[in-house]
Amino acid sequence: MTPAAPEVSQKKKEVTPNGGWLRVSAALWRRPWARAALLLTPPLAWFAVFYIAPLIVLLVTAFWQINPFTTNIEHVWTLNNLSTILTTPAYLRIIGRTVGMAAAVTVVDAVVAFPFAYYMARVASPRTRTALFVAILLPLWASYLAKVYSWLVIFTHQGILDWTLGKLGLGQVHLIYTNWAVFTVFCYLWLPYMIIPVYAALERIPASQLEASQDLGARTWRTTRRVLLPLALPGIAAGSIFTFSLTLGDYITPILVGGTSATFIGNIIYTNVGIANNVPFAAAMALIPIAIMAVYLLGARALGAFEEI
Amino acid sequence: MEPKALRVALRIWVALVLAFLFIPIVLIVLYAFNQSTIESWPISHFTLHWFSLAWHDPEVRAAFWLSVRVGLFATALALLLGSAIAYAPSRCCWCSRSRCRASSPGSR
């Protein structure tokens, strides 16, 4: 009996973990909710801790203030930060400038993206379509800073833009450190985010609907305006969420290519977190784009943007 | 089908947009070889000097490895959490089969 004992115990050892795993997997198979909980708990916990919690902290901080002498945060409830922002003309101008910039970038990107997306979806051969798709994704993989710096090089005095215009005999424009430079760089940076959803919307319009419109006598322009544009509108709205919100939140491009008047909401937040060390005020300022985006998203949902994504 | 003129116009538009997207990227590559520290165009002399400077700079090396490590870590984490949250609804735990089919990207 004695020599057999180790063998038995070894066998037991081999079976137990295997059986344990089987039992666990069987239990999970029998209970779909347990499976779902096991899969969803880690990502949702991450989401709660790293997305939701900081947002709540931000919201709360916006209603605190700093001691002007020690610059320590005082946990006293106050609406001072928000009322300062909403009653100071300079801040209102900055908010207006930021929203205007975001709107202008969105409109121009939509106008630039639409014919491009149309060509991709309806004219190009499948091979060209794939190539164009890769071509608009490639710039997204290039570094943000490298792209902004390349525009700095283009716009700078004696840069390539001045050189090209000089060769064409058009004089010089000196766009560097102006809001035009900021505008161009934003249009450049976010253009792919507009093309992709517009392409997705155009691609799923059945050809028969366009043919029906033309059979009924509508010319190209009328078909575009009355059939194509309404059907593509959810895609344009989806793309505009990206271009609008990304412009609203950016502060690096204005720092690099913008001039003295290129102060946007993001720059105010940045200087208040860093130089002025007034985090409650920065938090209150950060609530402004959140509020604007909330309104914007409601509008975009009404246009059907979320059915596209 | 689109009229011929429209197709030509569309083709020109696509070419212009592609130029807009890629000229800055090509330029930044060219400027990496620029001998002068002044950003004027055209570039008069080309050099590999900046590459050797960056290669031998311990701070650049440290920054590069830190970027690689952070990138790999973030990718691994996003892969784990993202796969879990994408896998759960696709394995139909709570939604009915018809709803799952309607919301899956493959179907129209």
- Residue by residue, pLDDT tens for chain A (309 residues) are 444 444 444 444 444 556 788 888 888 777 778 888 888 888 999 999 999 999 999 889 999 888 877 778 888 888 989 999 999 999 999 999 999 999 999 999 999 999 999 999 989 999 999 999 999 999 999 899 999 999 999 998 888 888 888 888 887 788 889 999 999 999 999 999 999 999 999 998 988 888 888 888 888 888 888 888 999 999 999 999 999 999 999 999 999 999 887 899 999 999 998 887 888 999 999 999 999 999 999 999 888 888 754
C-alpha dist (Å) from residue B59 to A122, B28, B49, B54: 50, 22, 17, 9
For chain B, domain boundaries: 1-48, 57-108
Q: Could you tell me which of A64, A103, A118 has the C-alpha nearest to residue A227?
A: A118
Q: What is the pLDDT of residue B108?
A: 38
Give the pLDDT of residue A304: 82
CA distance A275 to chain B (A): 25
Domains of chain A: 4-66 (no CATH), 75-308 (1.10.3720.10)
A114: its two tokens: 């639409």
Task: State the pLDDT at residue A2.
Answer: 45
Average pLDDT of the residues in B32-56: 86
pLDDT at B90: 66
In this predicted structure, the answer to whether residue B47 has a pLDDT above a threshold of 50 is yes
Phi, psi of B34 (to 5 degrees): -75, 130
Phi and psi dihedrals of A74, rounded to 5?
A: -105, 130
Bigger pLDDT: A220 or B13?
Answer: B13
Q: What percent of chain B has pLDDT over 90?
A: 51
- Chain B contact probe: residue of A154, A223, A224 with most B CBs at under 10 A: A154
pLDDT value of residue A5:
47
A35·B27 Cβ contact <8 A: no
Residue A102: what pLDDT?
A: 97
ipTM of the complex: 0.82
- Per-residue confidence (pLDDT) for residue A196, from 0 to 100: 95
pLDDT for the residue A1: 42
**Chain B nearest C-alpha distance from A87 (Å):** 41
In this structure, chain A runs to a length of 309
More confidently predicted of A308 and B47: B47
Q: Tokens standing for B90?
A: 């696709």
C-alpha A78: how far from its chain's center? 31
Nearest to A232 by CA among A125, A140, A308: A308
Cis preceding-peptide flag for B42 (omega within 30 of 0): yes
B41 contacts in chain A (CB < 8 Å): 153, 158-160, 162-163
Looking at beta carbons, which pairs linking A152-156 to residues 24 or more positions away fall under 8 Å? Answer: A152/A176, A152/A256, A152/A257, A152/B39, A153/B27, A153/B28, A153/B31, A153/B39, A153/B41, A154/B23, A154/B24, A154/B27, A155/A181, A155/A184, A155/A257, A156/B39, A156/B40
Q: Report the pLDDT value the prediction gives residue A146, as an integer from 0 to 100.
A: 92
| Closest by Cβ to B94, choosing from A36, A135, A147 | A36
- Sign of the Cα torsion A116, A119, A125, A129 reads positive
